[in-house]
């Protein structure tokens, strides 16, 4: 067994466009499920995805490289979104 690779679900996929299309269909799926669940029970849902992505596009490292937890800067982005959603808009330092 040592040195042998286990088969992957992507072994038969030769076209990277197929992989990209599958990932795009899945993207946001879990968030939509959670949002639908909350809204069906009258609970406010605040998506943090857009704000985190926008910050990342500005060069802010919002997630740690190896474990996908928020960095301190990522926490600032999230805090700003939640504060705004609660009706208390503020400007955090560093332009986040």
pLDDT digit string (tens) for 6-59?
555 555 556 677 766 666 666 677 888 888 899 999 998 999 999 999 999 999
CA 46 to chain centroid, in Å, comes to 13
pTM over 0.85: no
CA dihedral over 37, 42, 43, 48, signed as positive or negative: positive
- How sure is the predictor about 79, in pLDDT bands with cuts at 50, 70 and 90? very high
What pLDDT is stored for residue 31 in this prediction? 85
What residue spans of the chain are helical by DSSP H?
16-26, 29-40, 49-57, 72-85
Q: Where are the domains of the chain?
A: 15-43, 46-96
């Amino acid at each position: 067994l040592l040195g042998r690779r286990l088969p992957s679900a992507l072994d038969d996929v030769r076209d990277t466009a197929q992989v990209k299309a599958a990932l795009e269909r899945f993207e946001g799926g879990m968030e939509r499920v959670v949002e639908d669940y909350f809204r069906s029970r009258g609970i406010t849902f605040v998506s943090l995805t857009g704000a985190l992505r926008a910050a990342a596009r500005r060069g802010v490292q919002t997630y740690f490289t190896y474990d996908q937890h928020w960095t301190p800067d990522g926490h600032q982005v999230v805090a700003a979104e939640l504060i705004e959603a609660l009706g208390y808009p503020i400007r955090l330092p560093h332009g986040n």
